[in-house]
Structure 1
Amino acid sequence: MPRLPHRLPPTIPVKKSILVSRPANGHEVFIPQIRKLVFEYCDAWSSSANLRRYIFNHVESLARENPHVEVVVKERPSKHPIVRGFYLNNRDKVIGLKEFDVNQIQNKVQLLLDASGHKIVPLKRKTVVSTAESARGIWSGFHVQEPYRI
């Protein structure tokens, strides 16, 4: 059996820059799906009081933290307060903020910021997708070429 040499042959040093993976096809890029937030409130109704407080104290910092989101504050007379999120897939989500606390409003706004705008699909049951045609309607023995015999 041949003996292995005690020393390995000298190797070419590997640069660290070669070992680093490069982003390809958007692996390191995250595109937020929300494009616009619209806060709608009534100036007179008490159900909008907490939203008015939220707008006064937090909306400016929200807009600074999320420069990709257009933030619109709109008065909506004689209606309960809502916040609408508009997404890149041309869908929108509306959340009613009637009698919500400021912290609850922050949570709902964060929910809209994190959402994708897609429809909610049930995870329990998978939808049935058929590739072949199937019979439709109620079967009747009178509608076949050879009648059904008992």
Structure 2
Amino acid sequence: MPRLPPATPIINRRALKTRQSNGHGAFIPSIRKLVFEYCDVWPSSANLRTYIFNHAEQLARENPHVEFVVKQRPSKEPVIRGFYLNDRDKVIGLKGYEVTQIQQKVQLLLDSSGAKIVPLKRKTVVSTTEAARGIWSGLHVPEPYKI
């Protein structure tokens, strides 16, 4: 009796590979730099100065992939800026925030991806190719639309 070929082809296990992506095999955080800007004199910067004095060193040790910059911003309100790998940045004003609220905002910037905020109510059209799209109007046709 002749031998029949197997029903499914034999697959070499070495040929089964997945492509590496962010989160699979290695995680690349999207934030690259945090800049704390404060004024030495203004009372609105007091809580940020306290946060930097008490928490900045520990924060830098926990996040070695992030560059931390502390700089003075004379006669201006305190802000924190997050710079991301997709060449975007987010700025949060810290006027009137307590130390715990500043800590929450820093964590928000560390966890954020830097992408634009997308509305969830309706799906927007995302295309990889350029296309001519526009809004149809009854006023721009040879014969006007009659109701």
With the length of structure 1 as denominator, give the TM-score of the two structures: 0.73
Paired with 1:106 and 1:135, the residues of 2 have a C-alpha distance of 45
Q: Deviations over 1:72-114 (max 9, x none)?
A: 0000001100000000000000000001111000000000000
* Equivalent in the alignment of 1:139: 139
For residues 133 and 80 of structure 1, what CA distance do their matches in structure 2 show?
Answer: 43
Q: Which residue of 1 aligns with 2:122?
A: 125
Change (3 A) 1:25 1:140: closer
Q: Counterparts in 2 of 1:1-150, with a 5 A limit?
A: 25-26=20-21, 27-128=24-125, 136-139=136-139, 143-144=142-143
Give the root-mean-square deviation of aligned CA atoms. Answer: 2.9
What residue ranges of structure 1 are gaps of 5+ in the alignment? 1-21
Quick one: which amino acid aligns to residue 25 of structure 1?
Answer: Q
Compute the displacement of 1:148 (Å).
8.5
Unmatched runs of 5 consecutive residues or more in structure 2: 1-16
User: Which letter maps to 1:93?
Assistant: K
Amino acid at match of 2:109: L
Segments of 4+ moved more than 6 angstroms: 129-132
Number of equivalenced pairs? 126
Instruction: Describe the superposition over 1:37-60 as per-residue Cα deviations: whole angstroms up to 9, x where unpaired.
Output: 000001110000000000101001
- What percentage of aligned pairs have identical amino acids? 69
Paired with 1:148 and 1:53, the residues of 2 have a C-alpha distance of 66
How far apart are residue 140 of structure 1 and its match? Answer: 6.5
How far apart are the structure 2 equivalents of 1:32 and 1:135?
39
**Paired residues of 2:139 and 2:145 also in contact (CA < 8 A):** no
How far apart are 1:127 and its partner, in Å? 2.1
Query: Residues 136 and 75 (structure 1 numbering): CA distance in 2 closer, same or farther, change over 3 Å?
Result: same
Larger Rg: 1
Task: Tell me, in whole angstroms, the C-alpha distance in 2 between the residues paired with 1:78 and 1:70.
Answer: 25
Letter in 1 for 2:20: N
Distance verdict in 2 for CA 1:62–1:133, change over 3 Å: closer
